[in-house]
Each structure stands twice: as structure tokens, then as C-alpha cells.
Amino acid sequence: MPLSSSQLHVHIAAQDRPGILAEALSFIVQAGCNVVDIKQFVFNGLLNLSILLDGCDQSRIQDLRDSLSVYAEKMDFKATVYPWETEVRPDAPYSHRSVVTLLCDSMPSAGFLEITKIFAKLDINILRIEQLDSGDVHALEFVIGTREVHSSEEVLNALMKFKENYGVDIAVQEETFFRRNKRLIVLDADMTFLQCEVIDELGSLAGVGEEMKEITHKAMGGEIDFESALRKRVKLLKGLPEESLQKLSSSLPLTPGAESLVNILKHLGYKIALVSGGFQFFIDKICDNYGLDYGIANQLILENGRVSGELEGQVIDAEAKERALVSLAEKEGFSLRQVVAVGDGANDIKMLAKAGLGIAFNAKPIVQRQAQASINQSDLRLILYFIGINGKDLNELNELVGAGNVQSWL
């Protein structure tokens, strides 16, 4: 039914109990009005109910006000009926919507004050606040609106000082259907899925650990070209026996929450990929061990049971990671807006930018400045809050996958 330019808004505030909506609707039906929209929520036992009406007989509106008012006083709740002009709705100009998700240990009142003052100063309207979790992790969602089109970067830049002051992790995403309909996650391996840089571990085994770490640090911070840095480090590994690679592959430390994240996302039907600037030798073993769908990395040449010091084929650098993400999405038939990318290094920036949600995970500053979201805690499960999963859902999913109940989507 098309909406008229003049409507009525019935607002009820009460101590919650069964039957309040039915009682209000009985008066609305008697007045001959049509319900065109309705919103209700209960917070700490207090009901907040809004009903938008249309098609009311003007001669009966006062009777509706009077009868609701008398009944509300009798039943000890508050009821207000007032005109609602669609063209002057307070939220109407703020039609460009985003969701700001905050993760922290706790949020003091001063923190709430600071973020709301930032929004107010920028003429950002807070449309809804929802607490996703309040246990070990405090997770909050702010649905915000602006008058003009805005980017995630603009909102993140405005919140940078707040983020530093209160040690919060933040994601800013466009409020669309795709925010809660992600289907593919692409993760970097070293220092993201794994809690180490594999090439540095190999350097230690080859007796060139310090030199290797120095090159890696510069490459991941964007100080030197990734491909030249990789080839230089691979040359340092020349002569390392294959047995050393085998031994290392069986003892690589996973980042906390990695296995749980994989199990939950598999249960939800996600496709999971590792796209790494490391080596296929290790990525294949990780994919086999944890049932990942795709693994893409550099091919290390082995000759006579030893590392040759050379690579075979295309180097998986920043551009190759970006192409891999796009290719995997196309292969699976997913929109890029349905893709989550997670990484920590400068060679992940293009991949993060291409995905619907790009998360800088314990990342270098250059990466955090350019990503839609960042996590600075060592738990990959925190990603789940950024895709809209709340604490209650997470507990249920943990129980399901913990019991071995992995959903088949074939």
C-alpha cells in the first residue's frame, strides 16, 4: 500500500508484559487505521513500541488519542499519538548507511561520550546501537547515517584518535544485504593464519636467521619491493635439506582461534582460501590438515633433496594476491562484496581493498591505515563479530562444531 504524505505515529513505553501490542492494536482497529510499519524492542524489561499508521479517518483521530491515553493511564504505561509527516522525518536526510563495529575489553562511559561527540560533530546520525557481546569481548554495532555519500576510510579516519585512546578494534562497512552474506574468506598465511613467518623460521634453520628477519621486516612494512626481497631471501636458503622443511611443516604454530574460525565458517558454508607470499610446500600441508578449499603460494624449487635457492613460476606478490582473490570469487560465483580478506603485510593491501571486507590483522601501520577494519588482538575468531555474528550465536556455533557437527553444503 502506498504511503500518504500524512501519517500517525503511535509510541508506547511500558514495563514489558504479554498483550500490550494486542491491546494497542484493538484501539487502532476501532479507529479504522491501517498499520504500515511497526517496530518493537525490549531493553532490560522496558518495552519501546512504535506503530506507524495510515488511512485514518480524520474525524476519529482524537477518539484514538483519548481512548489510548485513558487506557494507558489505567494500565500504567505511556502512549503518545502524533502526526508523522514523511517529508520531515528526522532520519530521512541521513539515507547513506554504514555499520561501525567496535571490539574492546570494555567501554567506559567516557568512551561512549567521545565516539558520540565525534559522530555529532561530523553530522553523522546514530540510527541504532546493538550490543553483540558483553563477555570476554565487548562488541558493539553502531548503524549510522550521513546526508552525503561517504567512504569507510572517511569514517575510520575520523575515529583514529578514539581508536588509539581506548584500544578498540574497528570495522566500518556499508549497510547492505552483502554485509551479512559473505561466502568466501581469503587469508594470508604468515603472521595471520600462522603465528610465525615461515621464511624466517627457515632462515634460522639455514643459519641466516638475523639477515632473513631484517629483509622480511622491511618487505612487510613496504620499505622494499616484495619480489626482490623474496628472491633475495630464497637465495639465502640454498642448500637447506628437504628434511628441514618437512620437520618445520609439522610444527608450525597456528594463530589462536584459527582452527575454530575454520570450523565455524565451514559449518556456515564458507569457502576458505590461503593466499600466501610464502611457499606452496607448507600451504598444501595446512590446507590438507584443516580442510581448506584453496591454497595459493610460491613454488620453491627442490633439487636433489635440497632447496635450490630459486623459485618456479609466478611470484605471489601484492598484485598476484589481488588477482587470486578475484579469480576465486569468480570461480565460486560470488560477488566481491561477499568476500572477506585478512592479512598483515604491505603485500596484502591490494587484496584487502578488493574484498567486500578487508581486515588488517595485527598489521603493520601502513596496512591498518588503508583497511576497512583492523584487529589488534591475537584471536582470529574476532573476525566473526565483523560479519554480524553475536555472542549468543557464537556460543551455539562453538557447541555445534565442538561436537563435530559440521554442516554439509554439497
Domains of the chain: residue spans and CATH: 6-88 (3.30.70.260), 96-175 (3.30.70.260), 185-402 (3.40.50.1000)
pTM of the model: 0.89
Q: What is the mean pLDDT of residues 61-78?
A: 93
For 71, phi and psi rounded to 5 degrees?
-65, -40
Residue 88 confidence (pLDDT) above 80: no
Catalytic residue among 190, 317, 344, 348: 190
Summarize pLDDT for 279-313 with one digit per residue, the tens.
Answer: 999 999 999 999 999 999 999 999 999 999 999 99
**Is 188 an active-site residue?**
yes
**Is 293 an active-site residue?**
no
Residue 158 confidence (pLDDT) above 50: yes
For residue 62, which amino acid is it?
Q
Q: Torsion-angle region of residue 362: left (phi > 0), alpha (psi -120 to 50) or beta? A: left
Model confidence at 84, pLDDT cuts 50, 70, 90, reads confident
Model confidence at 95, pLDDT cuts 50, 70, 90, reads confident
Residue 343, classed as helix, strand or coil, is: strand
Residue 157 confidence (pLDDT) above 80: yes
For residue 288, which amino acid is it?
D
CA dist 26 and 337 (Å) reads 44
The neighbour count for residue 294, using CB atoms within 10 Å, is 18
**pLDDT score for 409:** 46
The angle at the Cα of 267, spanning 265 to 272, to the nearest 5 degrees, equals: 40
Sole residue written with cell 560477488: 335
More confident residue, 275 or 136: 275
Q: What is the mean pLDDT of residues 20-36?
A: 94
Summarize pLDDT for 132-155 with one digit per residue, the tens.
Answer: 999 889 999 999 999 998 888 889
Q: Do 338 and 137 contact (CB within 8 A), yes or no?
A: no
Mean pLDDT over all residues of the chain?
A: 93
Catalytic residue among 188, 317, 344, 348: 188
